[in-house]
Homo-oligomer: A and B are copies of this chain.
């Protein structure tokens, strides 16, 4: 049976809408009372796994889900063997370097060598600073990264910025973008190779579903 990994949180509603437009109705998963993590589609020919953002590429890479929806930020961070099929366009945000508004730094290259940078996305941050040829000490945090400069554990942070409200509320300012991120449809490479047309048709329908606003 076709299994689809859907991300909990901000990307869920739009993900369900895009699958619905392509004929797979997983809307029961967005019910407030839903506690199930594995749900059949209304038609019964597919099922959805409701997992954390970061676990979507794992389920798709291992083939437990043939398709999945996940933010580009997570894809870049994890570097899993999955196929990127579609840019779904929603969930837009940017990965940015941010510092205290009162700090003297206005570009990432201004940061002092060997300063500390806190992030949930330490692989992406490492790649960015390597490319700048700026050696920094990365501190991996799992949440509330905006506390980094406030507590003094780090000079700067690398984090996702959507509206910018969290930064403003904490007296921080974004000084440079690493990349822009949106939700992506990903697939298991082997499942795509063995596909007899079902996956191809679904991906195409989801692509067209995105064209109609």
Contacts and interface: CB of A to CB of B under 8 A. Distances in A.
A144 B37 contact: yes
A144 B65 CA distance: 15
Contact of A144 (B52, B62, B139, B141): B52
Contacts of A62: 139, 153
Interface residues of A, number: 27
B142 A64 contact: no
B49 A143 contact: no
A37 B147 contact: yes
Interface in A152-178: 152-153
A151 interface: yes
Interface of A: 3, 8, 37-38, 49-52, 54-55, 58-59, 62, 64-65, 139-144, 146-147, 150-153
